[in-house]
Amino acid sequence: MGMNSVERVKEYIETPTQEPPAEVPENEPAPSWPEHGAIEVSNLALRYAPTLPRVIEDVSFEVKAGEKVGVVGRTGAGKSTIISSLFRFVDPDAGSIKIDGIDICSIGLRRLRQSLNIIPQDPTLFTGTIRTNLDMFDEYADLQLFEALRRVNLITAEDYQLLIDANGKLEQDSDEVENPNKFLKLDFEITENGGNLSQGERQLICLARSLLKSPKILLLDEATASIDYQTDALIQKTIREEFSSTTILTIAHRLKTIIDYDKILVLDKGRVADYDHPYNLLNKDESIFKSMCEDSGEYEQLFEMAKIAITK
Ligand SMILES: Nc1ncnc2c1ncn2[C@@H]1O[C@H](COP(=O)(O)OP(=O)(O)OP(=O)(O)O)[C@@H](O)[C@H]1O
């Protein structure tokens, strides 16, 4: 099986030595770009090769800064393709994508790709330690790394307190703290491809890495494998609490994940079938999203969750 588009993005992101092709940008955005994380997709059409048919046709949608958008649709609907087009792994055949008002095709690839953060479905971590995986370029103090681990709930607030004294400095070498939680040891060895961590833990490490960078835009490809309920809940809690002002697009496989999001982008055969708040989609006479919720066998619960979410 070949790599899908998000896997290619992932390979790019996770290969630190790989440089995007050299290119002279026509228009270098301000150093602060993107300041807000607003995304505007207009009449976008995409094809994987000039000889292949378009797989995305006339897609338009706007994401306001800080909004959380769930991307759903049947297999092959174009979810991954849309996400990878933000990184320009597929260039528009027609239409445009703007981030904070700047057309992403008018700027350097390196600049663009540095400005976006992605949590792949099954992140491959580097062979190294928790520290090197969080902080490849040795930019952060240990305390900042522990704080990121706490914010993604890999270490508890109590454990974190044990690590700091009243001045907020590291009280003792973390290795001396007696605790079975491996995330309290920044030197904990991560084996090849993160094999000694669960898929959910790998996503949480990746989220912690993202937190340190405080991105304006985060793209998330939800794990399909049956990650345990608790880890899944931690990922969702982290996203709600710690990325509240970050614009998030999530390719969702579990409807519960996105039922309280601001909007759902429903794709169908490469086109936008619906784009609205989940509660509004559930109140339509007929919608793909509604039938997906019905098919999940959890309709009543999803409906109640969406209803509570829209009144917030
Ligand atoms: N690298 C590629 N080359 C050619 N066609 C591709 C490529 N990747 C995807 N496609 C095609 O583009 C269309 C959209 O695929 P995409 O992977 O975006 O769908 P998806 O909604 O993410 O599906 P899934 O839920 O199965 O991951 C499909 O028809 C797919 O066959």
> Which residue minimizes the CA distance to atom 24 of ligand 1?
75
pLDDT of the chain along its 312 residues, tens only?
445 666 666 665 555 555 555 555 557 899 999 999 999 999 999 999 999 999 999 999 999 999 999 999 999 999 999 999 999 999 999 999 999 999 999 999 999 999 999 998 888 788 899 999 999 899 999 999 999 999 998 998 888 888 875 456 665 555 555 667 889 899 999 988 888 888 888 989 999 999 998 899 999 998 766 677 778 787 888 888 889 999 999 998 889 889 999 999 999 999 999 999 999 999 999 999 999 999 999 999 999 999 999 987
The pTM (predicted TM-score) of the whole model is: 0.85
Question: Which residue type, as a one-letter code, is found at position 19?
Answer: E
As for ligand 1, residues whose beta carbon falls within 6 Å of it are: 4-5, 48, 52, 55, 73, 75-81
Biggest CA pair distance of the chain? 64
> Which residue minimizes the CA distance to atom 3 of ligand 1?
48
Q: What is the pLDDT of residues 41-73, one digit of tens each?
A: 999 999 999 999 999 999 999 999 999 999 999
How far away, in angstroms, is 75 Cα from ligand 1 center?
8
User: Could you check whether the bond before residue 34 is cis, i.e. omega within 30 degrees of 0?
Assistant: yes
Alpha-helix residue ranges (DSSP H) falling in the chain: 5-13, 79-86, 109-114, 130-134, 142-151, 157-163, 199-213, 229-242, 255-258, 278-282, 288-295, 299-311
How far away, in angstroms, is 47 Cα from ligand 1 center?
10
What is the ipTM, given to two decimal places? Answer: 0.97
How far away, in angstroms, is 276 Cα from ligand 1 center?
23
Measured from the Cα of 2, ligand 1's closest atom is 1
How far away, in angstroms, is 4 Cα from ligand 1 center?
7
